[in-house]
């Protein structure tokens, strides 16, 4: 029986682990299917306080994990398949094995959203990617495409110009969701070409099992055409990882956990931290802060229950 199990090993989960471990709760952290969360697939992080020169995302998150381990946090590889949160102790099935815990911190984050085209899905890892920082270096002097109109798309497009000869940014509307500073930066980059009001109809070429181009459609003119690219980067947002909690924890219409104040969910003893609940800020520092809050709430909850 655990005092606290923390699901997720990103910024939120690791910070919760540091606080819970320092409170002597001996937390178990379930690493999940994306170890280290989104920081692990980022390059330089320039806005995490305390690092005037910036710090590489994977290094930052690994340091957090080490810091939690110093105080006795345990990490286990695996993903949560099923949960029973109807009574305490809560039960979690992790890679086939059931675990029991008095409190639970859900810091399972959010995963990349895809367009959902069959051709896109079949070519993931063969030219289709959701992570420019992971795969960008494969496209030196090649033509690539980025899909999306938010900050992620601008960031990915800018990053890809370090390698690619040309980056085409395709967005389904004329207006962009991205912040002005990010949009201006992308617009000012001579390697980035903008294709607004345009959607992707298909990614070629399934027969060759690699990306050779895409079929595009302009929504205003109706024009349909093929464009050659070798890399296809989808940056259209994220989906919260809440599947194992569906029907037990209050989720909103997009699947994000609904907060019941502070780090509390609708179930006493179950707390949330980070992007799994936060659709507004989604920053490393806000996730870390949320992890801290969740651990403090878990500690107070256990104390109030006499543990
Ligand atoms: P986002 O702001 O939700 O933007 C998603 C974009 O993808 C939107 O432009 C959306 O189009 C488009 N989209 C969604 N579904 C689509 C579909 N099925 N087909 C085509 N296009 C689709 O997501 P995000 O860019 O990942 O940003 C998420 C949050 O992280 C934001 O708060 C952002 O500010 C923050 N962020 C910050 C930074 C930074 O400051 N360095 C970097 C990255 C992200 P519509 O606009 O038409 O809906």
SS (H, E, C) the chain: CEEEEEECCCHHHHHHHHHHHHCCCCCEEECCCCCCHHHHHCCEECCCCCCCCCEEHHHHHHHHHHHHHHCCCEEECCCEEEEECCCCCEEEEECCEEEEEEEEEECCCEEECCCCCHHHHHCECCCEECCHHHHHHHHCCCEEEEECCCHHHHHHHHHHCCCCCEEEEECCCCCCCCCHHHHHHHHCCCCEEEECCEEEEEEECCCCCCCCEEEEEECCCCCEEEEECCEEEECCCEEECCHHHCCCCCECCCCCECCCCCCECCCCCEEECHHHCCCCCCCHHHHHHHHHHHHHHHHHHHHHCCC
Residue nearest to atom 37 of ligand 1 (CA): 151
Q: Residue whose CA is closest, atom 15 of ligand 1?
A: 236
131 is catalytic: yes
Respond yes or no: is residue 134 known to be catalytic.
Answer: yes
Pick 288 or 39 by higher pLDDT: 288
283 falls in which pLDDT band (50, 70, 90)?
Answer: confident
Distance 20 CA to ligand 1 centre (A): 33
Confidence class for position 269, pLDDT limits 50, 70, 90 = very high
* 260 Cβ below 6 A of ligand 1: no
Distance 72 CA to ligand 1 centre (A): 37
Is 292 known to be catalytic? no
> Which amino acid residue places its CA nearest to atom 21 of ligand 1?
148
Which residue's CA is the nearest one to ligand 1's atom 26?
A: 237
Residue located nearest, by CA, to atom 28 of ligand 1: 237
| Stretch 221-226: mean pLDDT | 98
Query: Which ligand 1 atom sits closest to the C-alpha of 155?
Result: 42
Does the pLDDT value for residue 215 go beyond 90? yes
Is the CB–ligand 1 distance for residue 152 below 6 Å? yes
Q: Which of 135, 151, 275, 278 is catalytic?
A: 135
**Residue in 146, 177, 203 to alter for ligand 1 test, most ligand atoms within 8 A of Cβ:** 177
Q: How far is the CA of 170 from the centre of ligand 1 (A)?
A: 13
pTM of this prediction? 0.78
Confidence at residue 133, expressed as pLDDT on a 0 to 100 scale: 79
Query: Please, what is the average pLDDT of the chain?
Result: 95
Distance in Å, CA 280 to ligand 1 centroid:
11
pLDDT of 242 strictly over 90: yes
Instruction: Please report, rounded to a whole number, the percentage of residues in the chain having pLDDT higher than 70.
Output: 100
**Least confident among 85-99, 178-192, 274-288:** 274-288
Is it the case that residue 41 has pLDDT exceeding 80?
no
Q: Is the CB of 275 under 6 A from ligand 1?
A: no
In this prediction, residues 234-252 reach a mean pLDDT of 95
Mean pLDDT of 275-280: 91
Q: How far is the CA of 88 from the centre of ligand 1 (A)?
A: 38
Which atom from ligand 1 is nearest to the alpha carbon of 151?
25
């Amino acid at each position: 029986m655990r005092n606290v199990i923390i699901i997720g090993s990103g910024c939120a989960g690791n910070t919760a682990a540091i606080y819970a471990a320092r409170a002597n709760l001996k937390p178990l952290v379930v690493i999940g299917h994306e170890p280290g969360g989104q920081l692990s697939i980022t390059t330089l992080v320039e806005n995490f306080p305390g690092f005037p020169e910036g710090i590489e995302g994977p290094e930052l998150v690994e340091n957090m994990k080490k810091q939690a381990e110093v105080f006795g946090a345990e990490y286990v590889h695996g993903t949560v398949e099923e949960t029973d949160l109807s009574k305490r102790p809560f039960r979690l099935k992790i890679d086939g094995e059931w675990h029991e815990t008095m409190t639970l911190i859900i810091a399972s984050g959010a995963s990349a959203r895809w367009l959902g085209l069959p051709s896109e899905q079949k070519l993931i890892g063969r030219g289709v990617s959701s992570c420019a920082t992971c795969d960008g270096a494969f496209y030196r002097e090649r033509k690539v495409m980025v899909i999306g109109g938010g900050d992620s798309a601008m960031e990915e497009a800018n990053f890809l110009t370090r390698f690619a000869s040309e980056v085409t940014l395709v967005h389904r509307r004329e207006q962009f969701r991205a912040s002005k500073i990010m949009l201006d930066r992308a617009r000012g980059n001579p390697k980035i070409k903008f294709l607004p009001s345009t959607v992707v109809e298909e990614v070629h070429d399934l027969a060759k099992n690699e990306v050779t181009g895409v079929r595009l459609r302009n929504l205003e003119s109706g024009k349909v055409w093929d464009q050659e690219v070798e890399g296809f980067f989808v940056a259209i947002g994220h989906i919260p990882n809440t599947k194992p909690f569906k029907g037990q924890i209050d989720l909103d219409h997009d699947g994000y956990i609904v907060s019941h104040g502070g780090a509390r969910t609708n179930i006493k003893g179950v707390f949330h931290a980070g992007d799994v609940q936060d659709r507004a800020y989604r920053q490393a520092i806000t996730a870390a802060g949320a992890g801290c809050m969740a651990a403090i709430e878990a500690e107070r909850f256990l104390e109030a229950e006499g543990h």
